[in-house]
């Protein structure tokens, strides 16, 4: 790859907006209300999948102040080609506290093939939580290889490469307040 082709050396392009910051804020607020209703009176562990879920997780946690919420994180690595997961998952950073008898809500940035998320949900269920559910900010149903139930969903999107609001390309664009499409 020549220096001009390396995305790290190229100046960033401005992604075309797909989902506005205002639409994101409104949807996260509504998800927070729904989660607060469903978990009323229960301690909830929000498990963010690093790195992409961080912005969504932070906003979601703030949208449910009426609950007793604990935050924890998993870092995973999926092997395969650059555009899809093989479903072979390596945990690179595990939870810091046990989840036995806790209500766990996995917070993910995007579910596309479902292979990685299926593995994560199955693995967490072996740790004897009271419940395990999934909240995904985005879903690309056209790419599903292994269906997994998304209990709380932000947005369904077409099969486009998206960045912003935690999602990246070559570690760029995570800080955008909207979801954008790269050409």
Catalytic residue ranges: 112
Question: Would residue 71 count as lying in a domain?
Answer: yes
Question: Would residue 6 count as lying in a domain?
Answer: no
Question: Would residue 98 count as lying in a domain?
Answer: yes
- Which range is least confidently modeled, 4-8, 40-44, 159-163? 4-8
Tell me the pTM. 0.88
Q: How many domains does the chain have?
A: 1
Question: Would residue 80 count as lying in a domain?
Answer: yes
Question: Would residue 11 count as lying in a domain?
Answer: no
Question: Would residue 51 count as lying in a domain?
Answer: yes
- CATH number of the structural domain spanning residue 99: 3.40.50.2020
Show the domain range for 141: 20-160
Q: What is the mean pLDDT of residues 17-43?
A: 97
Question: Would residue 52 count as lying in a domain?
Answer: yes
Q: Give the pLDDT of residue 87.
A: 56
Cα distances (angstroms) measured from residue 42 to each of 2, 36, 57, 69, 175:
55, 9, 18, 9, 32
Looking at the predicted structure, is the pLDDT value of residue 114 above 60? yes
Burial environment of residue 92 by CB neighbours within 10 A (0 to 12, 13 to 18, 19 or more):
exposed
Q: Give the pLDDT of residue 170.
A: 87
Question: Would residue 88 count as lying in a domain?
Answer: yes
Looking at the predicted structure, is the pLDDT value of residue 83 above 80? no
């Amino acid at each position: 790859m020549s220096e001009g082709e390396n995305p790290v050396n190229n100046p960033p392009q401005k992604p075309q907006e797909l989902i506005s910051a205002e639409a994101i804020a409104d949807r996260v607020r509504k998800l927070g209300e729904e989660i607060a209703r469903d978990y009323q009176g229960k301690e909830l562990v929000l498990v963010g999948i690093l790195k992409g879920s961080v912005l969504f997780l932070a906003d979601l946690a703030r949208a449910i102040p009426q609950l007793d919420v604990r935050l924890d994180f998993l870092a995973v690595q999926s092997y395969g080609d650059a555009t899809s997961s093989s479903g072979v998952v390596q945990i690179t950073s595990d939870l810091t506290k046990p989840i036995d008898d806790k209500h766990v809500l996995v917070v993910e940035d995007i579910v596309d093939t479902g292979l990685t998320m299926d593995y994560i949900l199955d693995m967490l269920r072996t740790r004897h939580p009271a419940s395990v559910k999934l909240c995904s900010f985005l879903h690309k149903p056209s790419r599903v290889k292994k269906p997994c139930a998304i209990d709380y969903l932000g947005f369904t999107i077409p099969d486009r490469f998206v960045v912003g609001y935690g999602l990246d390309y070559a570690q760029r664009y995570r800080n955008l307040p909207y979801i954008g499409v790269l050409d």
